[in-house]
Structures are given as structure tokens and as C-alpha cells.
Amino acid sequence: NMQAVVMRQGKLAMSNAPIPQPGAGEVLVKVLACGICGSDLHCVTHGPQLLASAREVAGIELFDPEEPIVLGHEICAEIVDYGQGARRDRAIGSRVVSAPFLLRPQPVTLGFGGLDTPGGFAEYMVLSEDLLIPVPDDIPNDIATLAEPLSVALHAVNRGNLGSDEVPIVIGCGPIGLAVIAVLKMRGIGPIVAADFSPSRRAMAEALGADIVVDPRETSPYDSWRSVAAAADPSQYGRQTQMFHGFPFRPSVIFECVGVPGIIQQILAGAPPCSKIVVAGLCMELDSFYPTFAIMKEIDLAFCIAYTPQEFAEAFAHIVSGRLKVEALITSHVGLGGVEEAFARLGDPERDIKVVVLPQLDGG
């Protein structure tokens, strides 16, 4: 048996569980590190809403609320054994990362599975051999787990389709907003304007490469954008409309990384004309906005979730190369016994940004 943190009906608790068995083309791995993601928090606090949305939109049952669920999908692990038919390309004991999916006839999203397909808040789990990416010796286990949240950010920036003239605004400097800043900085896009109420997160945004960081209670991020996006050369102007003809500013892409009701309307009200808004924040409640704000400004509104396997591999490659410098995102480590308390702590933006679970850590 193994130790695992199990979610039952919105409550987390340590539990003994059977070690899962790898199927054809799969590997059994020992979990070395697993980051706590915002979607893990959502599963615990907004499980029914998340299930209802997945059922209504995609016709899938994301997980069974009546069954024990093992969360965790930001994974670094060590190969322990292979299932039948595996190629065995990597030696037992090799460290790997993987996008959190099992390539079965009925695909499994890891981190939302039961005891037979647990996520990373357990001592062992099963991964698909075809998705394994080796971890170089000089990359620590906890840093390797950042491949997953950086993939989310990379996908969001790709959805923004930014060119060299865009001046981005990042609203919300939680883990995904901060990761978006890191990706934008890596790509040389800027200057970057960022906004958050939390002093510690504003400091982290600056450390990760934001050029102007504001407390929105005191300074409008859109006024800050105007101070750096003004263009003397009309060839740098953003797209023009009759209502805002001659608007003498570079184009804007705004990343919504908060995910609470009312934020989209706030952004529509403040956004420059012809902006593109990329919604990366996962709002679990009904929201509303005035379409006229978007219509009159001819704003593009794009939504995004997750990433492709190629984006996951690209994000990890950037971490390995050192182009993405994101070590500062990790603010705490806990063992399995500390997961429940870490979930509570992550509700306070001044205490932590990214907590990484180390299942082998003694003392919880």
C-alpha cells in the first residue's frame, strides 16, 4: 500500500491506498514532487460547479464526487516499473515529467482520477510512456513541476498571438499571471504592465520581469499602459476604427488571470479600443458584462484552458535551457501530511504563491 491525500466530497484527508498498476504502454512511477494548482483548490471548494460545467459543455464526468479522488497534476517522478508492452526506453530510476494524461482508449486526466489512476498527491502513480520527458540531472524535482503551470501560461500567450508592437497588461499576479509575465519576458514582448492588490505578488511580478507594477486601488493599469504605449510612428498604431480613429497607441493584449465575477466587465471598461482580452482565470460562478463595451471598442475576447503536449514539451525545454527563470514562484514545500493545511494557506496571497508537495518529506 501507499500513502495518499484523498478528496472525498470536498474534504481532504490522508489515507492508505493500493499502489496502482500500470497498463499496456504505461509506467509505475514514484512521485518526487507535485505542485498545488489553482484547479486543485477549485476542485475542493467548487467541485459541484466544476463538474456541472464539464458535464454541460463537454458531456463528460470529470470525476465522481462519491468516490475518493487523488488530486495533483504538476508532476516530477521516478520510474519504478513498466507495464506490459512498454518499450522500456528509459532506465528504472530515471526522473521524468509528463503532461497529466493517460493515453488509454478512454483517456484519463490525471489529478481527477480515483485510487486506480491517482494524481500526484500520493507516493506512486501511473504515467503513459509516450508522454514521458527526461529530467536533466541539474534540474531539481520541484523546479521540474513548473513545466505544467508554465505550459498553461505559454498557451495563454500563444492565444494572445502577440506581435512585436503589442504592449501587454496582466491583470492578477497569482501563479498563472506570474507565469504569463515570465513567458512574455522570455519572448521579449513589452513593456509589461501588471496589476494586483497583493504587495508580495506585485513584488514577485517585478522580479519575474514586469516593467510597471501597480496596485489597482491606487493606480489604473490602463493609465499606466497609456504612459508606455504611446507611439509617435503611425506604423506602430494598433488597429483603428471610425469611433477611435487616430488612437495614437501601440496595440494592447490584456491577460485576465483572476477568475472572479466582475473582472471581465472591469477590463472591458478600462481596456483601450481594439484590444484583445485573453481570459485565463478560471471563474467558477455565473458572470455578466455589457456587450456594448466590447462592441463599441471592437474588442476581441479569447478564452483558454490547459495546453497541447507540444506546448508542455516547449515549456519544459525553456526551463531546462534557463530561458524561463521561474524558481522564485515556489514559496513553500510540504509533505503529504501538510497538503490540507497548504490548501488553506494558499487562500492568503501574502503567505504563498506556489506550494510543492514532496511525498517523501518526513513530518508532513
Mean pLDDT of 114-128: 97
Q: How far apart are CA 276 and CA 161, in angstroms?
A: 9
Residue 213 sits in the same domain as residue 125: no
Would residue 286 be called left, alpha or beta, if left means φ above 0 and alpha means ψ between -120 and 50 degrees? beta
Indicate if 269 and 138 belong to the same structural domain: no
Residue 240 β-bridge partners: none
Tell me the CATH number at 266: 3.40.50.720
Q: Across the chain, which distance is largest between two alpha carbons, in Å? A: 68
Q: Is residue 98 part of a domain?
A: yes
Overall average pLDDT of the 273-290 stretch: 96
**Mean pLDDT score, 308-322:** 97
List CB contacts of 233: < 8 A, sequence separation 6 or more: none
- Are residues 183 and 209 part of one domain? yes
The C-alpha atoms of residue 173 and residue 196 are separated, in whole angstroms, by: 6
- pTM for this model (two decimals): 0.95
Q: Which three cell numbers stand for residue 196?
A: 494586483
The C-alpha cell at 87 is 518499450
Q: What is the pLDDT of residue 255?
A: 99
pLDDT over 60 (residue 97)? yes
Query: Rounded to whole angstroms, how far apart are CA atoms 201 and 225?
Result: 19
Q: Is pLDDT of 295 > 60? A: yes
Measured between its terminal Cα atoms, the distance across the chain in Å is 18
Look at residue 253 and tell me if it is in a domain.
Answer: yes
| CATH at residue 344 | 3.90.180.10
Residue 270, in any domain of the structure: yes
C-alpha to C-alpha distances, 136 to 31, 49, 82, 361, nearest whole angstrom: 16, 39, 21, 22
What's the rounded Cα separation, in Å, for the pair 186 and 189? 8
Quote the number of domains for the chain.
2
Higher pLDDT, 91 or 48: 91
Looking at the structure, do residues 109 and 28 belong to the same domain, yes or no? yes
Question: In this structure, are 137 and 39 located in the same domain?
Answer: yes
> Are 104 and 242 within one domain?
no
Question: What's the whole-number mean pLDDT along residues 319-325?
Answer: 96
> 44-58, 268-282, 295-309: lowest mean pLDDT where?
44-58
Q: Is residue 102 part of a domain?
A: yes
Residues 156 and 140 in one domain: no
Task: Please indicate, yes or no, if residue 75 is contained in any of the structural domains.
Answer: yes
Q: Residue 186 has which C-alpha cell? A: 522570455
Amino acid 107: pLDDT: 87
Q: Is 33 helix (H, G, I), strand (E, B) or coil?
A: strand
User: Mean pLDDT throughout 116-126?
Assistant: 97
Query: What average pLDDT is seen over the chain?
Result: 95
Statement to judge: residues 18 and 113 lie in one domain: yes
**297 pLDDT above the threshold of 60:** yes
Q: Which grid cell is 358?
A: 514532496
Q: What is the pLDDT of residue 362?
A: 58
Are residues 78 and 110 both part of a single domain?
yes
Question: Is position 90 within any domain?
Answer: yes
Give dist(CA 74, CA 97) in Å, integer.
Answer: 9
Q: Is 97 helix (H, G, I), strand (E, B) or coil?
A: strand
Question: Quick one: pLDDT at residue 363?
Answer: 46
92 occurs within a structural domain: yes
Band of residue 64 on the pLDDT scale cut at 50, 70, 90: confident
The answer to whether the beta carbons of residues 269 and 292 sit under 8 Å apart is no
What are residue 262's phi and psi, to 5 degrees? Answer: 100, -20
Domain that residue 17 falls in = 2-146+326-357
Q: How far apart are CA 206 and CA 152, in angstroms?
A: 20
The percentage of residues in the chain with a pLDDT greater than 70, rounded to a whole number, is 99
Task: Please report the beta strands in the chain, taking only residues with DSSP state E, as ranges in sequence order.
Answer: 2-8, 11-17, 26-35, 74-82, 95-97, 101-102, 108-109, 124-128, 133-134, 167-171, 193-195, 212-214, 252-256, 276-279, 300-303, 330-334, 354-357
Contact by Cβ (8 Å): 276, 302:
yes
Give the other-Cβ count within 10 Å of 84's Cβ: 9
Query: For 233-272, what is each residue's pLDDT tens digit?
Result: 999 999 999 999 999 999 999 999 999 999 999 999 999 9
298 and 157, same structural domain? Answer: yes
Does residue 321 lie within any of the structural domains? no
Residue 126: strand, helix, or coil: strand
Residue 364's pLDDT is 43
Claim to verify: residue 76 and residue 122 sit in the same structural domain? yes
Clarify whether residues 287 and 353 are in a common domain: no
pLDDT value, residue 100: 97
CA nearest neighbour of 293 among 321, 276, 271 = 271
Percent helix, strand, coil in the chain (nearest 5)? Answer: 30, 25, 45
More confident residue, 164 or 220: 220
Alpha-carbon span 100 to 77, nearest angstrom: 12
Question: 51 pLDDT exceeds 50?
Answer: yes
